[in-house]
Amino acid sequence: MNNTTCPRISFDFTGRFLLPVYILVFIIGLVANGWGLKSLRHNWKKMGNVNVFVLNLGLTDVLYLLTLPFLMVYYFMKSKWIFGEVFCKITRLCFNVNLYGSIGFLTCISVYRYLAIVHPMRAMGRITLTHSVMISVIVWLLVSVQSLPDMFFPKAFRNNTEKCFDTTDNDHVEDYLKYTLGWTLTGFCIPFLITLGCYGHVAVVLWTLKSTDKVLKQRSLKLLLILILLFSVCYTPYHLFRNLNLLARVLTKQGICYKWYNGVYIARQISRVLVCLNSALNPLVYLHAHEDVTARLRQQLQQVRLSFHRLFVPDSGHVPVSQTEDQR
């Protein structure tokens, strides 16, 4: 269909759909992150430098969860925002910081695990706590630089509409589409490719090392599956349908209409629900980021080297027992 009169999109779907989900995510998210941060505190020394990234991941979730009660009131009152335009923008900023902060810190965890598993001897001792803190500060700065321009776009809190849009009004939708396309590339696509590359290589290394024990393989591959779940279920649909919905709005403004607009809008709202779930799913990362996985792999690699040493060096059988034990 290509007419100058576009069909009406059912906006009532949003309030009915998002309110119960926000309530559920708020409850589960607080419980899961509270338990996850408690687990992090208990295993702080065991987890090593990666705990800095896990802690920041939890902080991004808590930051977003604290804004959910205001969004619950918003949709309970049938999309009527009563907290003012400034707080509307702050609420949307917290969502974006949570989203792209989560992606950023998950990427850092992925790179850290990659170095610790694929290059354990090179990484050991070179990645310090100071490095992890500095990298975390850089992630926060990058996320802020990406997210702050969103606050300068109108959120439709004008002319007594009392709305609080998560994008912008129709007058600025063309510019917002350009902004969000660049945002998607730098905030989602590049980190996703880095994470996929890291864990793809990790999976290959773990399965090619026959000496690696089953527990190590299972824990590392579980973390890989969790990250794939987060990116494929929570993050990918959101970015895809956000951009498609903005494109539909631009085309509608130009008088170009197609039947798929309403379907894209509904899919967009569903993707907003899915991306909210990341705050409840991120604590799963706490369980699979412990340092003992790396220590166990180092022990396995040392045993492999000792086996090769005994096999190819004639005098290896005369190595003193105490020296061999020290190497292990």
Higher pLDDT, 209 or 34: 34
Query: How far, in Å, CA of 220 to CA of 229, rounded?
Result: 14
Confidence at residue 217, expressed as pLDDT on a 0 to 100 scale: 67
Residue 237 confidence (pLDDT) above 70? yes
Q: How many C-beta neighbours within 10 Å does residue 135 have?
A: 20
Query: How far, in Å, CA of 104 to CA of 206, rounded?
Result: 25
Residue 327 confidence (pLDDT) above 50? no
Residue 124 confidence (pLDDT) above 70? no
Q: What is the mean pLDDT of the chain?
A: 80
Hey, what long-range contacts does 174-178 have (CB within 8 A, 24 or more apart)?
174/250, 174/253, 176/246, 177/243, 177/246, 177/247, 177/250
Structure token digits, residue 67: 């804004």
101 pLDDT tier (thresholds 50, 70, 90)? very high
Query: How far, in Å, CA of 243 to CA of 193, rounded?
Result: 19
Confidence at residue 233, expressed as pLDDT on a 0 to 100 scale: 85
Structure token digits, residue 209: 């090392």
Confidence at residue 281, expressed as pLDDT on a 0 to 100 scale: 80
Average pLDDT score over residue span 55-64: 90
For domain 12-305, say whether CATH 1.20.1250.20 is its number.
no
Residue 234 to residues 9, 87, 159, 194, 319, Cα–Cα distance (Å)? 24, 25, 34, 17, 54
Count of H-run helices and E-run strands, the chain: 16, 0
Domain ranges of the chain: 12-305
